Amino acid sequence: MSHPPPSGGHPIGIVGLGSYLPMRVRTNEEIGAALGVTPEWILERTGVRKRHMAAPDEAASDLAAPAVKSAVAAAGLDMRDLSLLVCATSTPDELGPSTACRIQARLHAGRAVALDVSAACSGWLFAAKVAHDWLRQERRPGYAAVVGVEAYTKFLDPRDRGTSVLFADGAAAAVLGPVTPPGGFTDFRLGSDGSLADCVLIPGGGSRMPAGTRTLEQGGHYIHMDGRVVSRFIQAMFPRLVREALTRNRLTLDDIDCVITHQPNPVLLRGLGRQLGLGEDRLVIVGDEVGNIGAACMPYALAAAAARRAVEPGDRALVVVFGAGMTWGSALLHWTGASSIRIAPSASRLMERTPV
């Protein structure tokens, strides 16, 4: 694949996509049996049919590295072409160093500056903004890999219906680089409201509540979520972000070919789409296949949309994200036809055994 030569005059867009799902699948039957509910109960309330679970020896970086490798290959590039590697995650390998450094080492991407961005389920778009502006400010920008990854199942209370039925593991990555006008990202808008930070969090393990016997006894190492508050936040924020993006850019919904969004709950998303007048031909929903994989949701949905030709060269996509913090964001993406490689779950173990 050929791309315009790196130059500060070019817009920055996506030139390659990749994703990775662990091989282990958690079905509604399995989760329902543990929670004392039926598979139909889970499906009716969430729309999630299955989710993937990392192996005991798989950390976030083990999921992210194959996704980045696939995105770089899809872009027709080499790891030496990366000048930046940004990882968005709320389930890092360790509190420090950054998970991006672990990914960089595994991929031998020694020329890339590696760093993490933490904005929960909004994280990939926050990371993409960092990469976009980084490349635009360079006199001769190179290419940046931006990966969203979560290993949520390591932090799930198996007795908690509100989280066990939704959260799962996976990774998705994009390579950002110069594209031909009018392609690329425009109109990034990001936001946060820290007064709502307690609505979704893992309270134990940080400097406020270091890991210990007491945090384990209290379940502090599990994800805690106030589902009602989060649902109300999404119901208010998603339509608002769509309307504001359209207004700022003097567009109507008919001008948008595809809406790519975070995947908190397929049932909720479908309902909000109907309210906005968005059918599933334009609102990409993949949460039924993978559950909520946090910072990986949005890039995974974009990779899936490209693979299914739900977004085609010349299309205008509206990207919308929201997550814990609370955080949110949107951007317009003029699609230029980047390649998409999706790694099948059956291939996951093979990649795990071989060098990435």
Q: What is the pLDDT of residues 219-247, one digit of tens each?
A: 889 999 999 999 999 999 999 999 999 99
Instruction: Tell me, yes or no, if the two domains 12-181+339-353 and 186-334 fold the same way.
Output: yes
Q: What is the pLDDT of residues 44-97, one digit of tens each?
A: 999 999 999 999 999 999 999 999 999 999 999 999 999 999 999 999 999 999
The phi and psi torsions of 41 (rounded to 5 degrees) equal -60, -45
Q: How many CA atoms lie within 13 A of 331 on its CB side?
A: 24
What is the torsional sign of CA 348, 286, 125, 192?
Answer: negative
Mapping DSSP to helix (H, G, I), strand (E, B) and coil, where does residue 313 land?
coil
> Which band of pLDDT confidence, cut at 50, 70 and 90, is reported for residue 345?
very low
Residues 6+ apart with CB under 8 A from 213: none
Residue 78: how many CB atoms within 10 A of its CB?
12
In CATH, the architecture of 12-181+339-353 is 3-Layer(aba) Sandwich (3.40)
Q: Answer whether the bond into residue 210 is a cis peptide, omega within 30°.
A: no
Cα 43–chain centre separation: 22
The position carrying tokens 């814990």 is: 324
Q: Which residues are catalytic?
A: 121, 262, 292
Alpha-carbon distances, residue 318 vs 246, 268, 298 (angstroms): 9, 18, 11
Q: Indicate whether 3 pLDDT > 90.
A: no
Q: Indicate whether 203 pLDDT > 80.
A: yes
Domain extents in the chain: 12-181+339-353, 186-334
pLDDT top residue among 16 and 342: 16
Mapping DSSP to helix (H, G, I), strand (E, B) and coil, where does residue 146 land?
strand
Q: CATH classification of 186-334 is 3.40.47.10, yes or no?
A: yes
- 144 forms bridges with which residues in the sheet? 84, 176
Whether 209 contacts 195, CB under 8 Å: no
pTM of the model: 0.92
Residue 91: how many CB atoms within 10 A of its CB?
23
Containing H/E element for 19? strand 12-20
